[in-house]
Structure 1
């Protein structure tokens, strides 16, 4: 990295932190700290909601996901607009009408304290883990590619977030996320246009799409009904909808964003804004990954994008075998470029049979390359089982560091770290709020100290920041980071969503039945995930349905057993 990159990177991050502290200094009470004084307009709400979901994992993993598997991942978000409509019609008016600080406060009003506490604890477990991962994700990748110390990176990112989140609470999160979203989108557009500029002069954007299509990277829709298929239209529109309903409707890190809206209408407009723009944004980020794939059709790519993995195997007894694979990989790179040139020529001549033959040749070469990469991964595993062999999360950062000009590298690294900070800030803000209000305040002795809630919210936000840093320091990589976050959510979200749907729509079910049903459901969902009963996206619908059915059965049995005798 050049001095210019360091200036842009450090300047961007310090400005965000300093601006957040300055704009939100001096929260007077818990209303200011937790709900931002309820003064946020719809654009602030919408950008904050979007930035909370768009973590560093989104901008590291999603392009790599598209590089390897194409555009099909976008189907994961197909259920989001439907979920936003339901939340706007049902969740937002109820939360605003009851003037709650947290989503789980509503559960006590509807059921009882133990149900509120259980839902809050489920949130703390899954969101606490996710907060650690959102710090860990950029840290481990930047550590691998830049040689920076992993633990130091975790601590730096965590401390930067803690400073302004503890200082300003919800308002600080909302204010800084507007700046972060600007930096993020500026960086992604810059990367996209640089990729197009680096393609051969005869490869226009339209032809680049055809090149990607020849390798099956533009297959967006999959109508397969097999529940083992991870990303399909049906899993996105159903499982994805349940996940988004639970995430945006019951996860305090998102609920707290739109509870800060100055009115029901402002909150609803913010969520609709997110519903309209989220899928196009994810589509664009995946398209960036597809264009990176096209770029590497004409330029050399490493056998494994994780430099730490390559270093580990080259320093082991398997070094010669790996070098042989690298030589064969270089030959495939030459074959691939020739095949792409033949495909482009057939397109220009509009020769249908030649185009089909060229496409088949490309697919055959791609398969050879995938086989070689798998053999390379196996060698790396044998050389050092502790090194991550799955390199999806390293594809985009490899391109950034090796091909983008000075200054743009610093901007893209600022994008990654800004995204990490925005999501982590929302999570810490929510974790501190839930711990302070749903657990501490609800079970503590009442006092006349009006500043206690504010102090405890700040204290617990700080404590969760430290916990998130510790989780990041002991975390481990898992297949693909964006999938890991969604898997963690899917294990817990369906159950919590079912509790809320019971609270909203099935009025005769009482707290005891819901509490027991939720405990049983959580155990069953964890067992189902561990034994791979279904794709993780379906766990949301499964958990939601199961807790509702169990609660209905338990309530029915309880009423039958406790029904007064009929007088004759």
Structure 2
């Protein structure tokens, strides 16, 4: 029972392939006789198999398989005593942990770490179990070792229901007895791990010496030391691979334990389904297998069943078992629709290229954009792939506690429209950071614009990676190929059409994405028992509609955290993000820009209801159709998977194309706004005599360069292990963008702070964000708030002692810029 690398051994006579598990033959087991109950683990690229019993005696020898060379050796040393039926788990960086077990005459309480260096065996003792235990199950919750069930003597007439935990980061603190497992004690259960929960499946009860198979399942929460009942197993499993084999993000597979099929558990929906095993037992071996199967898991992706057979022609075969993530298949019509959609975007670029005569057209569309299109573009810029996939995924996995985070724009719309907008429109700006120069000086403008460019680099890498990951899962195209394709197409049409093609492509993708979401809702409601009412009832019964998480724990999304995070994370793009502010400047006048802001804010209300509702409906639908839920690499892939497998042919292709477009919309917005910032705030700042045609060439080359760098950053993200891309985005937002927002608040709402105070505020914000993000567990929603508040507070403090100099007329709320004449 132990986690480590992606390989497993099967000492059994199995044959065949599986849909979610795949097997490969390994070197033959070197023992002359089969053994049951041995311990195993993975250490430094080698499989370590020790102890066990052959039915006549128990063993203490240790055998090592070099997985690279495929050779077996015998370690120089033995276990402290002959051992079988112990818990064994691979603990990364520490070794193979072995707890309890039996020598045939007595059960034992020893716990130790086993390592093999060269051929030498190293044994490191740990605190003994409180009581002798064998036939238990174990798992690791982070660095916490959990041992559950088992019995305390070979002749025991009752099984244990105790759960013990040991903090491996502080083993001297000793074992802690937790709340007992409900439903009675058991031996040979299977454990699993999901999030912060220990899962326990099946096993056997022992009462008065009689054994009975169990099909119940339980989850223990480490946060409140409480057990919750789970869906019962479709059939009993005794001694299956433990811990259960994780496949993808949300599937645990029970293999062995006398099962004829694989049992696949989905922790999020709390449902079971069956799947074909990777191999099927030979007829001659089935009876022995049912009687003797006992499984040890060598890693999350590698089970090691032992003692499956005691006789038979293939009893010594060893098989490596690997999980396989399925990929969806798009029909030819879907690919045709995707191709036409993407070509249409490029065609739009060529169309608008004829209207780009200078930087005013390339950056601001010559003020030709109607307010409603600008408003939809503001909304679509925030929509992107993050909203379309990560928000439904959050609701699918958890509940609605993040709902308010999408509605902050409505609350802030009047503040932005009547306080901030006049400064951007009336001062005749091309970039928002020109205001920073007028208010604080050129150095602050350059710092602010540079920080914006870094923030956009982080944004592009996240919002491009997410759809690429999902599209890769549902189409089978490599994720890096998806990222590269989206990056290249976005570069082509943005270089051609500037901000005008960016805005109109935003309008197109917003319409298609919202339409696709509505269609998915209709299809699910038509196939859920009871329709909308039935879906609400099922979701409410499992607390999936929870809006408010009470409490004051700043590490959790409690109501206070959500409200503060909503305000801070929404004020950033509307007040300091050139990609959004640039939309204000493309409309004919300030009144139109004000309507655009209100449009973008108001669209957030129905869209947030739609996308959170979509996630909840996905949960209800897959609970009623568990056979359709495939193991996925990440929870963010759940909606694209439904689109590809359940929407009509052609329609699914259109929506997948719109997801492509949403990702490219994020790239093109960032490319054009960064091009605007670099050309205006840096290049023209130091070359004021540059003619407009030359500046347009600089803008287009900057677009190409940033597009390439942003695409490369997304490819880098694709190589990292990120559980939730939405959480990553909040960290990026807080790290790079919050201080910049603080500068605008400092400039507009105060008078004393000058250049020194502004720089001090920006530096303080960066330092505070780094400390909070690195050394605290504060919820990611608050990171932006820490950055904004620290910037404003530090700027005001420094400004009090070192006030700035210069004229502030028309630059602060106390003396705003005058409105344009009639």
Runs of 5+ consecutive residues of structure 1 not aligned to the other structure: 310-390, 561-568
- The equivalent residue for 1:388 is none
- The equivalent residue for 1:506 is 750
Partner Cα distance (1:295, 1:141) in 2: 20
Using CA pairs below 8 Å that are at least 6 residues apart, which structure has the higher relative contact order? 1
Partner Cα distance (2:549, 2:629) in 1: 29
Partner Cα distance (2:406, 2:551) in 1: 17
Is 2:601 aligned against 1:275?
A: yes
1:442 to 685, 702, 705: 685
1:203-248 Cα offsets, whole Å, 9 max, x none, are 2211211111111111123343332222x44333322112211111
1:471 to 709, 713, 716: 713
Is 2:592 aligned against 1:266?
A: yes
Partner Cα distance (1:126, 1:470) in 2: 15
527 and 301 in structure 1: CA distance in 2 versus 1, 3 angstrom threshold: farther
Partner Cα distance (1:146, 1:518) in 2: 44
Contact 2:356/2:497 (<8 A) preserved: yes
1:411 to 651, 654, 657: 654
1:240-299 Cα offsets, whole Å, 9 max, x none, are 112211111101111111211111111111111121120320221111111111111111
1:502-557 Cα offsets, whole Å, 9 max, x none, are 11011121111211221122122111111125222222222222112212222233
Is 2:445 aligned against 1:116?
A: yes
2:478 to 149, 155, 174: 149
The alpha-carbon deviation at position 103 of structure 1 amounts to 0.8
Larger CA Rg, structure 1 vs 2: 2
- The equivalent residue for 1:196 is 525
Pairs within 5 Å for 1:187-336:
187-200=516-529, 203-230=530-557, 232-300=558-626, 305-306=631-632
1:55 to 376, 380, 384: 384
The alpha-carbon deviation at position 407 of structure 1 amounts to 1.7
Aligned length: 473
Partner Cα distance (1:487, 1:139) in 2: 20
Is 2:763 aligned against 1:519?
A: yes
Bigger strand fraction: 2
Pairs within 5 Å for 1:338-349:
none
Partner Cα distance (1:174, 1:461) in 2: 16
Partner Cα distance (1:2, 1:281) in 2: 29
Partner Cα distance (1:434, 1:187) in 2: 34
Q: Detail structure 1 runs of 4+ shifted over 6 Å in the superposition.
A: none
Is 2:346 aligned against 1:17?
A: yes
Runs of 5+ consecutive residues of structure 2 not aligned to the other structure: 1-329, 805-822
Contact 2:495/2:700 (<8 A) preserved: yes
1:438-457 Cα offsets, whole Å, 9 max, x none, are 122212x3335231221111
Partner Cα distance (1:224, 1:76) in 2: 18
* SS class of match (1:116): helix
Partner Cα distance (2:721, 2:452) in 1: 22
Is 2:503 aligned against 1:164?
A: no
- The equivalent residue for 2:513 is 184
489 and 18 in structure 1: CA distance in 2 versus 1, 3 angstrom threshold: same
* SS class of match (2:471): helix
When normalised by structure 2's length, the TM-score is 0.56
Is 2:465 aligned against 1:136?
A: yes
Partner Cα distance (2:385, 2:660) in 1: 7
1:20-61 Cα offsets, whole Å, 9 max, x none, are 431343411111111111121210111110111111122122
The alpha-carbon deviation at position 72 of structure 1 amounts to 1.8
Partner Cα distance (2:486, 2:417) in 1: 34
Is 2:792 aligned against 1:548?
A: yes
- The equivalent residue for 1:430 is 673
2:364 to 35, 43, 46: 35
1:447-472 Cα offsets, whole Å, 9 max, x none, are 35231221111110111001111112
Pairs within 5 Å for 1:523-542:
523-532=767-776, 534-542=778-786
Is 2:795 aligned against 1:557?
A: no
1:178-202 Cα offsets, whole Å, 9 max, x none, are 11111111111111111122224xx
The alpha-carbon deviation at position 303 of structure 1 amounts to 7.8
Contact 1:217/1:290 (<8 A) preserved: yes
Is 2:418 aligned against 1:175?
A: no
Partner Cα distance (2:544, 2:571) in 1: 29
* SS class of match (1:156): helix
When normalised by structure 1's length, the TM-score is 0.80
78 and 446 in structure 1: CA distance in 2 versus 1, 3 angstrom threshold: closer
Bigger helix fraction: 1
Is 2:397 aligned against 1:68?
A: yes
Partner Cα distance (1:559, 1:37) in 2: 39
Partner Cα distance (2:640, 2:359) in 1: 40
Contact 2:407/2:601 (<8 A) preserved: no
Pairs within 5 Å for 1:83-102:
83-102=412-431
- The equivalent residue for 1:486 is 730
Contact 1:491/1:526 (<8 A) preserved: yes
